[in-house]
Amino acid sequence: MRRIYLDNAATTPLLEEVIECMSSSMKEHFGNPSSIHHYGRISKAAIEAARKTVANILNCSIGEIFFLSSATEANNMVIQQSVKTLGVKRIISSPTEHPCVFKTIESLSNQIEVIWLDVDTKGRINNSQLKSLLLKNKKTLVSLMHSNNEIGTLHPFQEIAKLCKDHGALFHSDTVQSIGKIPINLSETPVSFLSASAHKFHGPKGVGFVYINGENNINPSFYGGAQERNMRAGTENIIGIMGLAKALELADNQKDKRKKNITELRDHLKKGLLNIDPDIRFNGDQENYLHTVLSVSFPAGPKADMIMFNLDINGICASAGSACSSGVEHDSPVLGAIKHPTERKTIRFSFSHLNTIEEIDYTLSKIKAFN
Ligand code: PLP
Q: Give, in order, the Cα–Cα distances in Å from 22 to each of 40, 69, 236, 335.
A: 17, 16, 14, 38
The answer to whether 204 and 245 are in contact (CB under 8 A) is no
Nearest to 334 by CA among 126, 79, 119: 119
Which of the four pLDDT bands, split at 50, 70 and 90, describes residue 331?
Answer: confident
Give the residue-averaged pLDDT of 202-228. 96
Question: For residue 170, which phi and psi values (nearest 5 degrees)?
Answer: -80, 145
User: Which residue is closest in CA terms to ligand 1's atom 16?
Assistant: 72
Does ligand 1 have an atom closer than 6 angstroms to the CB of 346?
no
Does ligand 1 have an atom closer than 6 angstroms to the CB of 174?
yes
**What is the pLDDT at residue 57?**
98
Q: Rounded to an integer, what distance in angstroms lies between the CA atom of residue 304 and that of residue 335?
A: 16
Mutate which of 149, 199, 209 to test ligand 1's pocket (most atoms within 8 Å of Cβ)? 149
- Distance spanning both ends of the chain, measured CA to CA: 22
DSSP state of 69: S
pLDDT (tens digit, 9 = 90+) per residue, 241-275?
Answer: 999 999 999 999 999 999 999 999 999 999 999 99
DSSP letters, 73-139, are: HHHHHHHHHHHHTT---EEEE-TTS-HHHHHHHHTTTTTSEEEEPPB-TTS-B-HHHHHHHHTS-S-
How far, in Å, is the centroid of ligand 1 from the Cα of 200? 8
**What is the pLDDT at residue 301?**
86
**What is the pLDDT at residue 126?**
96
pLDDT (tens digit, 9 = 90+) per residue, 40-98?
Answer: 999 999 999 999 999 999 999 999 999 999 999 999 999 999 999 999 999 999 999 99
Asked if the model's pLDDT at residue 322 lies above 80, the reply is no
Give the residue-averaged pLDDT of 278-302. 96
Nearest to 130 by CA among 105, 157, 93: 93
Q: Give, in order, the Cα–Cα distances in Å from 250 to each of 14, 23, 245.
A: 12, 17, 9
How far, in Å, is the centroid of ligand 1 from the Cα of 135? 31
* Residues facing 116 on adjacent strands: 93
Instruction: Provide the mean pLDDT of the chain.
Output: 96
CB atoms closer than 10 angstroms to residue 243: 30
Does ligand 1 have an atom closer than 6 angstroms to the CB of 197?
yes
CB atoms closer than 10 angstroms to residue 163: 19
Which 3-state string (H, E, C) describes 188-228?
CCCCCEEEEEHHHHCCCCCCEEEEECCCCCCCCCCCCCCCH
Nearest to 123 by CA among 102, 101, 153: 153
Active site residues: 324
Does ligand 1 have an atom closer than 6 angstroms to the CB of 145?
yes
Longest Cα separation, the chain? 67
Asked if the model's pLDDT at residue 370 lies above 90, the reply is no
Does ligand 1 have an atom closer than 6 angstroms to the CB of 70?
yes
CA-CA-CA-CA dihedral for 102, 103, 109, 110, to nearest 10:
180
Does ligand 1 have an atom closer than 6 angstroms to the CB of 100?
yes
The answer to whether 75 and 174 are in contact (CB under 8 A) is yes
Mutate which of 72, 201, 209, 241 to test ligand 1's pocket (most atoms within 8 Å of Cβ)? 72
Give the residue-averaged pLDDT of 277-285. 97
**What is the pLDDT at residue 325?**
55
Which of the four pLDDT bands, split at 50, 70 and 90, describes residue 321?
Answer: confident
CB atoms closer than 10 angstroms to residue 32: 17
Asked if the model's pLDDT at residue 327 lies above 90, the reply is no
Does ligand 1 have an atom closer than 6 angstroms to the CB of 176?
yes
Nearest to 73 by CA among 197, 236, 224, 186: 197
Which of the four pLDDT bands, split at 50, 70 and 90, describes residue 328?
Answer: low
How far, in Å, is the centroid of ligand 1 from the Cα of 276? 33
Give the residue-averaged pLDDT of 206-227. 96
* Residues facing 331 on adjacent strands: 322
How far, in Å, is the centroid of ligand 1 from the Cα of 203? 13
Q: Rounded to an integer, what distance in angstroms lies between the CA atom of residue 235 and that of residue 210?
A: 17
Asked if the model's pLDDT at residue 39 lies above 80, the reply is yes
**What is the pLDDT at residue 270?**
98
pLDDT (tens digit, 9 = 90+) per residue, 114-170?
Answer: 999 999 999 999 999 999 999 988 999 999 999 999 999 999 999 999 999 999 999
How far, in Å, is the centroid of ligand 1 from the Cα of 371? 32
The answer to whether 233 and 213 are in contact (CB under 8 A) is no
Nearest to 251 by CA among 200, 207, 209, 208: 200
How far, in Å, is the centroid of ligand 1 from the Cα of 195? 9
**What is the pLDDT at residue 302?**
80
